[in-house]
């Protein structure tokens, strides 16, 4: 009998002490780019006896079985995704979980003991009543902390963002948290969002305004009263609520309002004496965590070439120019109507979007910089419309920061060394081209269709592309490293020579025109070609005397006609 009693006492003591292990802090979305390396879960022993954790494990959230380790009373233990990163940033040691990651959108976390009994089991979220991005979590730099070790972790209202500034910056965000130490948040909030005192034949406060989803608690302090907000009494109420029949004594009544509108209510025995009240419920104002910015507003740099907008979370709208330069991820440019551009990047996720030139899109993400190139690390992309017009390229005689991610053209350039074409790596190659005064670096990326093409035929070219930057260092100052990325082979436009002695004047009409031009019938046409203002061939009309140009954009064009060994040229304007 004595042995049985000892066993029972031991079992009671064992279960009591192990039940004191609680999860008191989470960092589920630290302010890092791409893969998070600073996620962590903090455990706390709220009991009076040490707790041996051998074979305890996380069965949901992440995967980890605890080794032979003990948490002392009032002691902490941190388990993280990457122990080396945790120690570098926080200056503390931690255990590294086996696999998995904490979802940014929230997920279920379960801690079990060695007998698979669930000790802690809750599902966190990034929406109210849990702390949200507006509070500073979810990528903004703050962990979330349980308001009290004895509080119910299932209730989002019991979790607050950390108030402890660690004096560290990551991606422009201040880091807050208390891993392995006492939490910084204040006392737990009451379960009710608003409390109305019921006494002295009145409701106090009588009229209140709350958000959808908030709870009101009525607390009776004396007298015989009730709360009656039923639709039977007040037909215009969006929903019914009531505490029931009038009661005396110290009672409470809670009601969560989930429908917006104005609610009337009363105390039945004393309504004629003015014991009435109202609850006005309004839709919660949602703060956009991605405020709309113009592309131009994100283009500024300081003296070291660092983007002024670094770390800003925002959304932009623009038209896609060019191709996707990253297999399995995203790397392309969006431009506004003024040819101001910015890069869009995601390391290994297309976010469900297939890059198509001419698409107008909305991009949500965080402004970042890599080797001097300003870009948005995209979290979400929405297609707004397709087949939008592209901007006209800017004629540039030098590569400067002003033109970064813009569509530009360098004119009348030749290859410095044609043997550079195709001599690179699997990711692409660079060729140098010069206009006689400046040498330009042209990057042929393996994701563009000209990567496998033969070198363009000809001597002089107008080369169009998107200006990128790739400095020699990953840290500022970011200087130079500019390179032009042609989008396709057609971006190498052979320059029309005007030095040919056989180039004769040609007559065409009507000029200006909207639909067609007619070539002077005194010329025997062997071949007719139309070039744009940049010298690019836009139409081969063969031997036709009438050339229909209604498909061309408005602008200035040249038509060149070959007649035996002679060439005739005319300039015309297309409306």
pLDDT 10s per residue in the chain (575 long)?
444 434 333 343 344 434 489 999 999 999 988 788 999 999 999 888 899 999 999 999 999 999 999 999 999 999 999 999 999 999 999 999 999 999 998 999 999 999 999 999 999 998 877 888 888 888 899 999 998 888 888 888 789 999 999 988 888 889 999 999 999 987 776 667 898 999 889 999 999 999 998 999 898 888 999 999 999 999 999 999 999 999 888 777 889 999 999 999 999 999 999 999 999 999 877 778 899 999 999 988 888 999 989 999 999 999 999 999 999 999 999 999 999 999 999 999 999 999 999 999 999 999 999 999 999 999 999 999 999 999 989 888 899 998 999 999 999 899 999 999 998 888 999 999 999 999 999 999 999 988 999 999 888 999 999 999 999 999 999 999 999 999 999 899 888 654 444 467 888 999 999 999 999 888 888 888 888 876 677 888 888 999 999 989 988 888 888 877 677 888 899 98
Residues in the chain: 575
Q: Domain-by-domain residue ranges, the chain?
A: 2-176, 194-282, 296-385, 394-494, 503-574
- For the domain covering 394-494, report its CATH number: 2.40.50.140
> Do 480 and 471 form a contact (C-beta atoms < 8 A)?
yes
| Superfamily grouping for domain 2-176 | Lamin Tail domain (2.60.40.1260)
> For residues 65 and 86, what is the distance between their CA atoms, to the nearest angstrom?
19
Using CA atoms, how far residue 110 sits from 57, 59, 63, 312, 564, in Å, is 8, 6, 10, 34, 85
DSSP code at position 184: -
> Can you give the pLDDT at residue 10?
38
> For residues 383 and 363, what is the distance between their CA atoms, to the nearest angstrom?
9
Q: What class, spelled out in words, does domain 194-282 have in CATH?
A: mainly beta
The sign of the CA dihedral 415, 417, 422, 427 is: negative
Q: Which residues neighbour 379 within 8 Å (Cβ) at sequence distance 6 or greater?
A: 290, 351, 364, 365, 366
> For residues 498 and 568, what is the distance between their CA atoms, to the nearest angstrom?
11
> For residues 291 and 270, what is the distance between their CA atoms, to the nearest angstrom?
50
Q: Note the pTM of the prediction, 2 decimals.
A: 0.46
> Can you give the pLDDT at residue 546?
92
Helix, strand or coil, per DSSP, at residue 92: coil
The architecture of the domain spanning 503-574 is Sandwich (2.60)
CA-nearest of 101, 81, 156 to 123 is 156
Counting Cα atoms < 13 Å in the Cβ hemisphere of 228 gives: 18
> For residues 465 and 221, what is the distance between their CA atoms, to the nearest angstrom?
76
> Do 330 and 345 form a contact (C-beta atoms < 8 A)?
yes
| Longest alpha-carbon distance in the chain | 126
Residue entry with tokens 């429908």: 259
CA-nearest of 219, 215, 229 to 196 is 219
* Domain 2-176 matches domain 503-574 at the CATH topology level: yes
> For residues 333 and 127, what is the distance between their CA atoms, to the nearest angstrom?
32
> Can you give the pLDDT at residue 289?
86
Q: Which two tokens stand for residue 459?
A: 């001597």
> Do 43 and 79 form a contact (C-beta atoms < 8 A)?
yes
Question: Strand (E) positions, 298-427?
Answer: 313-321, 330-335, 341-346, 360-370, 373-385, 394-395, 407-415
Count of H-run helices and E-run strands, the chain: 2, 41
Is the preceding omega at residue 477 within 30 degrees of 0, hence cis? yes
Q: Which two tokens stand for residue 521?
A: 């019938």
How remote is the C-alpha of 494 from its chain's centroid?
A: 41
- The pairing of strands 461-469 and 173-176 is unpaired
> Do 90 and 106 form a contact (C-beta atoms < 8 A)?
no
Q: Which two tokens stand for residue 291?
A: 């405020």
> Do 330 and 355 form a contact (C-beta atoms < 8 A)?
yes
Q: Which residues neighbour 202 within 8 Å (Cβ) at sequence distance 6 or greater?
A: 274, 275
> For residues 191 and 173, what is the distance between their CA atoms, to the nearest angstrom?
31
Q: What class, spelled out in words, does domain 296-385 have in CATH?
A: mainly beta
Helix, strand or coil, per DSSP, at residue 242: strand
The sign of the CA dihedral 127, 133, 138, 143 is: negative
Residue entry with tokens 């093409």: 453
């Amino acid at each position: 009998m004595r042995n049985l009693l000892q066993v029972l006492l031991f079992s009671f003591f064992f279960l009591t002490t192990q039940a004191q292990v609680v999860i008191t802090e989470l960092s589920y979305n630290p302010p890092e780019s791409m893969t998070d390396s600073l996620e962590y879960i903090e455990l706390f022993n709220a009991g009076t006896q040490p707790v041996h954790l051998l074979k305890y494990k996380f069965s949901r959230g992440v995967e980890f079985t605890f080794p032979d380790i003990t948490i002392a009373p009032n002691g902490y233990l941190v388990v993280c995704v990457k122990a080396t990163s945790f120690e570098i940033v926080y200056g503390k040691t931690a255990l590294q979980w086996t696999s998995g990651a904490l979802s940014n959108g929230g997920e279920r976390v379960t801690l079990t003991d060695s007998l698979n009994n669930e000790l802690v089991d809750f599902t966190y979220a990034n929406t109210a009543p849990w702390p949200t991005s507006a509070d500073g979590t979810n990528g903004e730099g703050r962990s979330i902390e349980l308001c009290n070790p004895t509080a119910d972790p299932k209730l989002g209202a019991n979790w607050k963002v950390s108030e402890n500034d660690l004096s560290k910056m990551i991606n422009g965000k201040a880091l807050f948290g208390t891993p392995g130490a006492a939490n910084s948040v204040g006392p737990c909030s009451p379960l009710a969002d608003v409390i109305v005192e019921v006494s002295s034949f009145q409701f106090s406060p009588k009229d209140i305004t709350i958000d959808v989803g908030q709870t009101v608690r009525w607390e009776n302090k004396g007298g015989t009263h009730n709360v009656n907000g039923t639709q039977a009494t007040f037909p215009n109420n969006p929903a019914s609520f009531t505490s029931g029949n009038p009661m005396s004594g110290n009672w409470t009544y809670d009601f969560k309002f989930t429908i917006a509108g104005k609610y009337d209510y009363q105390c039945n025995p004393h309504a004629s004496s003015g014991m009435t009240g109202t609850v006005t419920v309004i839709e919660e104002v949602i703060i956009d965590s991605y405020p709309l910015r113009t592309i131009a507003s994100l283009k500024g740099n300081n003296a070291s070439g660092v983007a002024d907008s670094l770390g800003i979370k925002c959304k932009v709208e623009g038209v896609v120019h060019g191709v996707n330069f990253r297999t399995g991820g995203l790397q392309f440019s969006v431009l506004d109507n003024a040819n101001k551009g910015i890069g869009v990047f995601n390391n290994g996720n297309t976010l469900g979007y297939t890059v198509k030139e001419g698409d107008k899109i909305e991009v949500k993400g965080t402004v970042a910089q890599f080797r001097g190139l300003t870009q948005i690390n995209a979290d979400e992309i929405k297609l707004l419309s397709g087949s939008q017009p592209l901007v006209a390229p800017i004629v540039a005689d030098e590569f400067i920061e002003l033109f970064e991610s813009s569509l530009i053209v360098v004119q009348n350039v030749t290859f410095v060394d044609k043997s550079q074409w195709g001599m690179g790596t699997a990711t692409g190659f660079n060729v140098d081209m010069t206009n006689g005064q400046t040498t330009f670096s042209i990057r042929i990326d393996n994701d563009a269709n000209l990567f496998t093409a033969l070198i363009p035929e000809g001597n002089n070219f107008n080369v169009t592309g998107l200006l990128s930057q790739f400095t020699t260092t990953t840290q500022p100052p970011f200087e130079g490293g500019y390179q032009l990325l042609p989008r396709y082979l057609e971006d190498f436009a052979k320059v029309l020579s005007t030095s040919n002695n056989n180039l004769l004047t040609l007559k065409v009409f009507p000029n200006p025109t909207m639909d067609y031009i007619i070539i002077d019938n005194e010329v025997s046409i062997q071949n007719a070609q139309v070039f744009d203002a940049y010298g690019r061939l836009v139409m081969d009309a063969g031997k036709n005397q009438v050339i229909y140009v209604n498909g061309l954009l408005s602008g200035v064009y040249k038509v060149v006609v070959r007649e035996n060994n002679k060439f005739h040229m005319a300039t015309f304007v297309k409306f």
